[in-house]
Amino acid sequence: MKFGIPSNLLPSQLDHSGEYDFIDHLLEEFLSVMGSVVAYDLATIMELSDQRLKVRAMLGPLASDRVRRHTLDLKKNPAMRRVLETGRGRSFGVHGPGEADPFDGVLDFPHGHSCMVVPLCLDDRPLGIMTFDRRIRGYYNPKTIQLAEVLGRLLAVTLAFGARTRELDRLVQLLEGENRLLHARTRAGVDSRDLLTVCPSEAMRSVTHLARQVAPTDSPVLITGETGTGKEVLAKAIHLWSVRAGRPMVSLNCAALSRELIESELFGHVKGAFTGAAADRQGRFKAADGGTLMLDEVGELPIELQAKLLRVLQEGQFESLGSSRTEHVNVRLIAATNIDLLQAVEERRFREDLYYRLAVFPIHLTPLRDRPEDLPIIARNILEDVTRGTGRETPVLTRAQITRLQQHDWPGNIRELVNTLRRALVLSTGTYLDLDMNHLNTNGYPGRINPARRETKPFQTLEAQEIEHIREALRRTNGKIYGDDGAAVMLGINPNTLRGRMRKYGLGGARDFRPAR
């Protein structure tokens, strides 16, 4: 007997996002070949899992979705249990409902129809059964049963291979999750606790005190502040000061992913949950189990996912995308945002119940421009961190350079400072840092204007602007209203209209706008 694997189903060419995988195709082809040896109207391969037999493959005119969904409980089916215990195939002439019929209540076979059940065992370990049913009455002969038993032993090897393949896929997914976690830890750089405790400003001393107070608890923390103020550094410090320090800390930027991907990243997915989901994958919540999960830019989380996040916070439970199995996790959540979440609540972009769940212990990070005394030590830490491992000596910041840095507004905060010092390091060749502040152009990036430095006037109403415009026109024309060189022509309106508006605004006569002699 010979059966092969179609060239379009070779492992390197398979599309695992489809309904069946490589093993399923092989099982169906096996049943097809069996059709030349055993006559049947329905043939199935049922896999054993937790004392239940589930249809893995099927073929024949009676194959249907109803058959595929069918399961058998061995505790309630002694005939199937005996087949697996003895390791011998049996033929049944089914004469009544429930009499050794694997599909009783599923298919309407005639009274006394033929049925054969063959055990699938490997090294005396039961893996499942193979069933054959015919609509005609009678029994399968002993030679057919013996041949089916021999082929069943070969089929058991295939089933065992499939089970081991699935287990390997699961282990690969776990290893990939650990790899992402280790990569995130490697990028952490210097100890974030040191960066907090060395800052001399009163604002940072207060932040450090609050962080130390909340760290030993499991309370959620909401870190607020402008972009680039060091929210992730603070979150890492809280984790390291907590009893969870020996467990994973996992981060996710909610603004960096599309709506379609963020649910999968947070909660994971099962194979086939969506196009491209070629295998099971654990999410950040599962990777952070026992540790801490930081959600940066939590205000950007899609509203439809906020209810699911709230449930995890309240109950520690969730379902992966495409799965009905409930997962249980023990995760401490730290959220961070640079937007006003209360305003987002008012605009119905953020759930009020989720906000109050996250904001149990809020900590606000002051922008760098409001704590210039911290800048020298932060800058030195950045330079040491950037040059570490490069073999290059850390350049020295002069007092004049520190003063220049302190005079900058730093709209990008510490992130902008990091970029500025990195650029300076590229340009520097000696012991001292070649710090060229001109490239910042008031906002850290060439050609951009810092709104904080722009001179602004109080915002005027249209009426106030019209009054000022009429005054200016009358001043320029020495109070003259009529004529080609008069204020009316300059303003592009009728002279009588101009006089009417002057009376409305109480601007007085034209003589009031003539220059003094």
- Which among 363, 369, 370 has a CA at the least distance from the CA of 408? 369
Same domain, 275 and 229: yes
Q: Which of 349, 364, 379 is the last residue of a domain?
A: 364
Q: Is residue 234 over pLDDT 90?
A: yes
Look up the CATH number of the domain holding residue 353. 3.40.50.300
Same domain, 389 and 272: no
Comparison of pLDDT for 95 and 385, the residue scoring more: 385
Distance CA 233, CA 352 (A): 27
Q: Which residues contact 100 (CB under 8 A, 6 or more apart)?
A: 79, 80, 90, 92, 94, 115, 117
pLDDT of residue 62: 92
Which two tokens mark 254? 């909610």
Distance CA 434, CA 451 (A): 27
Same domain, 343 and 416: no
Same domain, 238 and 137: no
Q: Which of 332, 364, 396 is the last residue of a domain?
A: 364
Same domain, 401 and 373: yes
Distance CA 282, CA 265 (A): 8
pLDDT of residue 44: 94
Same domain, 67 and 24: yes
Residue 178 in domain: no
pLDDT of residue 300: 92
**Residue 478, amino acid:** N
Which residues form the domain of 339? 192-364
Phi, then psi, of 396 in degrees rounded to 5: -100, 135
**Residue 452, amino acid:** A
What single-letter DSSP state applies at residue 5? -
pLDDT of residue 169: 58
Q: Which helix (H) or strand (E) holds 262?
A: helix 259-267
Which two tokens mark 108? 């309407």
Distance CA 265, CA 59 (A): 38
CA 259 vs CA 250, 318, 337, 409, 453: distances in Å: 20, 18, 18, 34, 37
Distance CA 25, CA 23 (A): 5
Q: Is residue 119 over pLDDT 70?
A: yes
pLDDT of residue 278: 81
Q: Is residue 158 over pLDDT 50?
A: yes
Look up the CATH number of the domain holding residue 422. 1.10.8.60
pLDDT of residue 18: 36
Name the residue with tokens 């009316």: 488
Same domain, 67 and 159: yes
Same domain, 203 and 323: yes
What tens digit of pLDDT does each residue of 138-147 get?
A: 888 888 888 8
pLDDT of residue 502: 86
Which two tokens mark 241? 């000061």
**Among positive and negative, which fits the CA dihedral 501, 504, 508, 512?**
negative
Residue 176 in domain: no
DSSP string of 420-479, one letter each residue = HHHHHHHH--SSB----GGGGTTTTSTT---TTTS-------HHHHHHHHHHHHHHHTTT
Q: What is the mean pLDDT of residues 373-402?
A: 84
Same domain, 316 and 431: no
What number of CA atoms fall less than 13 Å from residue 90's CA on the CB side?
A: 18
- Cross-strand pairs, 49: 52
Q: What is the mean pLDDT of residues 254-278?
A: 85
Same domain, 205 and 271: yes
pLDDT of residue 308: 93
Left (φ > 0), alpha (ψ -120 to 50) or beta: where does 468 sit? Answer: alpha
Report residue 173's pLDDT band, with 50, 70 and 90 as the boundaries.
low
What number of CA atoms fall less than 13 Å from residue 308's CA on the CB side?
A: 18
Residue 117 in domain: yes
Residue 175 in domain: no
What domain count does the chain have?
4
Distance CA 81, CA 423 (A): 73
Q: Which of 317, 343, 364 is the last residue of a domain?
A: 364
What tens digit of pLDDT does each residue of 329-377 get?
A: 999 999 999 999 999 999 999 999 999 999 999 999 999 999 999 998 8
Which two tokens mark 432? 């001292």
Residue 445 in domain: no
Comparison of pLDDT for 162 and 283, the residue scoring more: 283
Distance CA 74, CA 48 (A): 9
Any idea which of 53-57, 256-260, 310-314, 500-504 has the lowest mean pLDDT? 256-260
Residue 433 in domain: yes
Residue 423 in domain: yes
Q: What is the mean pLDDT of residues 390-418?
A: 86
Q: Is residue 181 over pLDDT 70?
A: no
Q: What is the mean pLDDT of the chain?
A: 81
Distance CA 330, CA 287 (A): 11
pLDDT of residue 178: 54
Distance CA 387, CA 396 (A): 12
Q: Is residue 447 over pLDDT 50?
A: no
Q: What is the mean pLDDT of residues 14-39?
A: 70
Same domain, 420 and 355: no
Q: Is residue 390 over pLDDT 80?
A: no
Q: What is the mean pLDDT of residues 158-185?
A: 60
Residue 171 in domain: no
Look up the CATH number of the domain holding residue 81. 3.30.450.40
User: Could you tell me if 195 and 378 are in contact, meaning their C-beta atoms sit under 8 angstroms apart?
Assistant: yes
Same domain, 138 and 243: no
pLDDT of residue 292: 96
Tell me how far apart the terminal alpha carbons of the chain are, to the nearest angstrom: 121
Q: Is residue 446 over pLDDT 60?
A: no
What number of CA atoms fall less than 13 Å from residue 128's CA on the CB side?
A: 25
